[in-house]
Amino acid sequence: MIDSKVQADSKLPPKENFSEWYHELLKTAEIVDNRYPVKGMAVWFPFGFAIRRNTYAIIRELLDVDHYETQFPLLIPEDEFMKEAQHIKGFEDEVYWVTNGGTSPLEVKLALRPTSETAIYPMFKLWIRSHADLPLKVYQIVNTFRYETKHTRPLIRLREITSFKEAHTAHETWEEAAEQVEVAVQRYSEFYRRLAIPFLISKRPSWDKFPGADYTKALDVIMPDGRTLQVGTAHHLGSTFAKTYGIAYEDPNGEQKLINQTCYGISERCIAALVSAHGDNKGLVLPYAVAPIQVAIIPILLGDKEKVLETARGLRQKISEAKIRVELDTSDERPGAKYYKWEMKGVPLRLEIGPKDLQKGVVTLARRDGIKKQIPMDDLLPSLVREAEVLQESLYNKAKAFAASKVKEVSTVEEAKVQANEGVALVPWCGSVECGHHLEDQVGANMLGEPQYQEFSQAKCAICGKESKGRTYMARQY
Ligand code: A5A
Ligand code: ZN
């Protein structure tokens, strides 16, 4: 059941005050309830959960083509967790430990997975024998736990990540694994396109790659306040974990070889990006594909009320039979209050039907982006499909225009400083680690890394002055 009650006492601050707007919207639109008494852990409202389910259905659809969904245990024995040195270094400060079973101390402590490499790879060792077992591609959607010390934020920086989608793949060669990283980036790109959310793709600098990885590619979304949010990462793991866990296969010549691996992940940050990219001063704005309610019908109960209601019920029936998620609002509220309520919930298409519409054989359709029009009753279903597509385009174009306005090419540290306060600076960078660290220090922003799949002209590194085609994105990161 979707609870459509909007808390009467709430007032949404303007989106310009992004942080206040975001927190209030999550509550008022009933996405997550942040009042759970453990920091960094929130409760999904049924309405928010429905958005999550629809959104993750897209990820599943994109991965199920050639991955198997699976599920591994939450708890990881200390000895397995502690095997991979680089990985431990990256995560040990963030791990929650289970030390007791009831009143007795455990012989082997158990880690709550912060991510599942160390749970999955000992099993990969058992599963993978020969080249015929490769490639192996699995994923799971689970909760993970990270004792984050930075400021926690609902959906963005959690201590319990409830919707951690992690994929893990095994391949014969390093090159095949590198290709898989590209596939992962493409699938994630398609995922965000379907949500009408623009993103940047970059290769993280070496000091910011995943612990244990050869390299990391990431997708970042520019939030309304100009800060970026990392909303997906794909890691080339090489044979680092294969060595540690002894994961080998027999090649066609009978030789034992280490596998090459990748992993890639997405969390409920995708919902944070969705809410933030499209929402406005009236509330949520949801793409049609993920909206728990795609169409809301508001009967205008004037004149022959019975006739209006009967027609509205007929419309609901017809729309629902077309497998569209529809709600007929017959509550006692005034039409204005109902509009407000369904706008807050981000319903993409609203249909209003009153006595005048009946006479003319039309319904009034209001799109969540503000466009209103009359459509003939007998053209209703095709019109809904068409308007949903137009709305999708309009959301995407608006979001792209915003994102484009937030990225600027600069040439000096001074310019980068100014731009990183507004959004993302594209800065000339020779690629050296030393210049990278200087850039971060002097600009006072994070380096997202080299933009991928783009060519640039020669320019002078903003630190050392050396000419190269290298660039890096720099921004204040969430
Ligand atoms: N095993 C790999 C996939 C992994 O753990 N990668 S990761 O550490 O980069 O996490 C994957 C994604 O989860 C990140 O790109 C980020 O979008 C999200 N994420 C990481 N920490 C998070 C947190 N504390 N709260 C919410 N999302 C988080
Ligand atoms: Zn340099």
Residue closest via CA to ligand 1's atom 27 equals 267
Single-letter amino acid code for the residue at 274 = L
Residue 11 is predicted with a pLDDT of 84
pLDDT band at 5 (very low <50, low <70, confident <90, very high): low
Are 318 and 467 within one domain? Answer: no
Q: Picking from 27-31, 82-86, 200-204, 207-211, which range would have the lowest pLDDT averaged per residue? A: 82-86
Residue closest via CA to ligand 1's atom 6 equals 265
Residue 279 is predicted with a pLDDT of 98
Which residue is associated with the tokens 């594909």? 289
Reported as a single tens digit per residue, the pLDDT across 192-222 is 999 999 999 999 999 999 999 999 999 999 9
Residue closest via CA to ligand 1's atom 15 equals 232
* DSSP string of 245-296, one letter each residue: HT-EEE-TTS-EEE-EEEEEEE-THHHHHHHHHH-BTTB----TTT-S-SEE
Reported as a single tens digit per residue, the pLDDT across 163-179 is 999 999 999 999 999 99
Position 392 in a domain: no
Decide if pLDDT at 2 tops 80. no
Decide if pLDDT at 251 tops 50. yes
Domain of 442, CATH number, reads: 3.30.110.30
Cα–Cα dist 444/442, whole Å: 5
Cα–Cα dist 327/15, whole Å: 27
Q: Mean pLDDT, to the nearest integer, of 124-142?
A: 98
CA angle 41, 43, 47 (to 5 degrees): 145
Are 337 and 260 within one domain? Answer: no
Cα–Cα dist 46/52, whole Å: 10
Are 411 and 383 within one domain? Answer: no
Are 168 and 204 within one domain? Answer: yes
Q: Which residue range forms the structural domain that includes residue 447?
A: 407-475
- Contacts (Cβ under 8 Å, ≥6 apart) of 130: 249, 250
Residue 300 is predicted with a pLDDT of 95
Q: What secondary structure letter does DSSP report for 284?
A: -
Are 12 and 136 within one domain? Answer: yes
Reduced to 3 states (helix: H, G, I; strand: E, B; else coil), residue 375 is strand
pLDDT band at 126 (very low <50, low <70, confident <90, very high): very high
Position 146 in a domain: yes
Ligand 1-lining residues (CB < 6 angstroms): 115, 146, 148, 157-158, 161, 166, 210, 230-233, 235, 263-265, 267, 269
Q: Mean pLDDT, to the nearest integer, of 431-447?
A: 98
Domain of 302, CATH number, reads: 3.40.50.800
Residue 267 C-alpha to ligand 1 middle, in angstroms? 6
Domain of 262, CATH number, reads: 3.30.930.10
Single-letter amino acid code for the residue at 404 = A
What are phi and psi for residue 48, nearest 5 degrees?
-65, -40
DSSP-assigned beta bridge partners for residue 248: 258
Name the domain boundary from 278, 307, 329: 278
Take residue 31 and report the two structure tokens written for it.
Answer: 């996405």
Position 142 in a domain: yes
Reported as a single tens digit per residue, the pLDDT across 441-466 is 999 999 999 999 999 999 999 999 99
Sign of the CA dihedral running 258, 259, 260, 261: negative
Q: Using an 8 Å Cβ cutoff, are 351 and 367 in contact?
A: no
Residue 217 is predicted with a pLDDT of 98
Are 270 and 300 within one domain? Answer: no
Are 178 and 98 within one domain? Answer: yes
Q: How many CB atoms sit inside 10 A of residue 125's CB?
A: 16
To test the pocket of ligand 1, the residue of 55, 151, 233, 448 to mutate (highest count of ligand atoms within 8 Å of its CB) is 233
Position 136 in a domain: yes
Decide if pLDDT at 1 tops 50. no
Position 288 in a domain: no
Residue 235 C-alpha to ligand 2 middle, in angstroms? 26
Are 34 and 173 within one domain? Answer: yes
Residue 460 C-alpha to ligand 2 middle, in angstroms? 8
Decide if pLDDT at 131 tops 80. yes
CA contacts within 13 A on the Cβ side of 428: 19
Long-range pairs for 36-39 at CB < 8 Å and ≥24 separation?
38/159, 38/160, 39/152, 39/159
Position 65 in a domain: yes
Decide if pLDDT at 116 tops 50. yes
Number of domains the chain is built from: 3
pLDDT band at 10 (very low <50, low <70, confident <90, very high): low
Q: Using an 8 Å Cβ cutoff, are 5 and 19 in contact?
A: no
- Closest-lying ligand 1 atom to the alpha carbon of residue 229: 17
Which residue is associated with the tokens 């306040």? 225
How far is C-alpha 292 from the chain's CA centre? 17
Are 364 and 448 within one domain? Answer: no
Reported as a single tens digit per residue, the pLDDT across 270-321 is 999 999 999 999 999 999 999 999 999 999 999 999 999 999 999 999 999 9
Take residue 20 and report the two structure tokens written for it.
Answer: 């206040």
Q: How many CB atoms sit inside 10 A of residue 35's CB?
A: 8
Residue closest via CA to ligand 1's atom 11 equals 265
Decide if pLDDT at 8 tops 90. no
Are 320 and 414 within one domain? Answer: no
Position 433 in a domain: yes
Cα–Cα dist 212/77, whole Å: 19
Q: Which ligand sits nearest to residue 262's alpha carbon? A: 1
Name the domain boundary from 220, 251, 278: 278
Percent of the chain exceeding pLDDT 90 equals 97
Residue 433 C-alpha to ligand 2 middle, in angstroms? 8
Are 273 and 313 within one domain? Answer: no
CA-nearest of 199, 222, 226 to 418 is: 226
Are 272 and 299 within one domain? Answer: no
- Closest-lying ligand 1 atom to the alpha carbon of residue 166: 3
Reduced to 3 states (helix: H, G, I; strand: E, B; else coil), residue 392 is helix
Position 353 in a domain: yes
Name the domain boundary from 278, 306, 337: 278
